[in-house]
Amino acid sequence: MIGLGTIINTAAVIAGGIIGLLFGKLIPERIQKTLIMCNGICVMFIGVAGAMAKMLTLKDGVFDTQKSLLLVLAMVLGTIVGELVNLEKQITRFGDWLKRKTKSTQDNGFTDAFITASCTVCIGAMAVIGAINDAMFHDYSILITKSIIDLITICIMTCTLGKGAAFSAIPVFLFQGIITVLAKLIMPVMTDLALADLSMVGSVLIFCVGLNLIRDKKVPVANMLPAILFAIGFSFIPGLN
């Protein structure tokens, strides 16, 4: 059964999309382009902060880094798997299908907006642990917090990228819904260390999303998503943490 937290989160994304559509029409194109750059820079810094929070350590007054090998291995192996499966192509096909079904064929940026927004709101430990807590303990406080963040994020992205961003509600519902249904199987695996490593790799992917917002040449973030699964698996290997 889908948890209440996921339903609230999905509704928040839809609400953010609707608000963004209404206000986006009032914002001149020149300002929208600048806002896209601003949004991209903010997303990049959020990604950097999330990754550095897990990688930086302070010992005897000196900063050092940890988990570098885990990050490199997870990203490289995850990208190889993602490229072989070509997740980006599969998600693009779904985005193009949505574009046709919603009669948005004139919106050239629809699919890119959908992919960018979907990666932004689905990647991260909050989605995973929030869905598990919702299923196992009927505690949806984490997903309520995530809902507020997602509402604001999707509102801004819909204003600047277009209505494709609003349809990220679909992957949010499916991703968190599946985790909720499988919570009993997933929960033993999601140790504190696994969540920390998931958050670190997820933050790097979020940085890549921000990078895509500020430049024309795109990083295939969707093809890098399996890196998250490798990060969780590597958390159980001594010597990589």
**φ, ψ for residue 221 (rounded to 5)?**
-60, -40
DSSP-derived 3-state class of residue 237: coil
| pLDDT for the residue numbered 241 | 74
Q: Which amino acid is at 173?
A: F
| pLDDT for the residue numbered 30 | 87
| pLDDT for the residue numbered 17 | 96
Give the C-alpha separation, 102 to 163, whole Å: 10
Beta bridge mates, 58: 63
Residues of the chain with pLDDT under 50: none
| pLDDT for the residue numbered 62 | 81
What pLDDT digit, counting tens, does each position of 53-106 carry?
889 887 777 878 889 999 999 999 999 999 999 999 999 999 999 999 999 999
Query: For residue 133, which of 184, 97, 172 has the smallest C-alpha distance?
Result: 184
Residue appearing with tokens 């958390």 = 235
Q: Domain segments of the chain: what residues? A: 4-234
Give the C-alpha separation, 222 to 171, whole Å: 13
The structure's pTM equals: 0.87
